[in-house]
Amino acid sequence: MSGPLQPAESPGFLLWRATLRWQRSIAAVLAPFELTHVQFVLLACAWWANEHDELPNQAALARQAGTDVRMTSQVLRALEARGLLERRPDGDDARARTIVATRKGKALAPKAIAAVEAADAEFFAAIPKERAIHFLSVLAGG
C-alpha cells in the first residue's frame, strides 16, 4: 500500500512553490515602478488594448486579466488616483466605464512590461526551447 506522495513528488506542491518563487521575482522587478502585480497586469492589459485601438470597459479588462470584477474596479481606482489610467463613461453602457491609459501610464507600462518579461525569461530559462511551446500550451489550458 502506498502512502501520500512526498512533497518533491507532488506536482501541485511543486507548482505552489514555483509560483511563490516566481511571484517574489515579479514583485521585486515591479517595486521600482511602485506597482503591485495585479496593478501591473491591469495597467499592461489596458495599455495593450489601447495600443490596439480598443477601449475596454472594466468588465472586459477583468475578463482579459482573469481578475474579479469588484477587485478590478478597486485596483483601477488606485491606478487612476496615481494618474496612470482614466475611467471614462462608456458610450454604449451608462453603467460602464472604459479604461484609457494616460500619458503617464503609456510611458510606464512598456517599461514595466519589459522588466517583467526579462524576469520571466530568467525564471523560465531552465525550460529547454523545444519544450517551451508545450509548456506554454499546458499553462494556457490546451
**How large is the average pLDDT for residues 84-102?**
90
- The more confident residue out of 127 and 71 is 71
pLDDT category, 88, cuts 50, 70, 90? very high
Residue 141: all three cell numbers together: 489550458
Cβ proximity of 110 and 47 under 8 Å: yes
Q: Please report, rounded to a whole number, the percentage of residues in the chain having pLDDT higher than 70.
A: 96
Max CA distance (Å), the chain: 64
Q: What is the mean pLDDT of residues 55-59?
A: 93
pLDDT, one tens digit per residue, over 109-135 is: 999 999 999 999 999 998 888 888 888
What's residue 79's pLDDT? 98
Q: Give the number of other CB atoms < 10 A from CB of residue 101.
A: 22
pLDDT at 7 over 80: no
Q: How confident is the model at residue 30 (pLDDT cuts 50, 70, 90)?
A: very high
The whole-number pLDDT of residue 95 equals 85
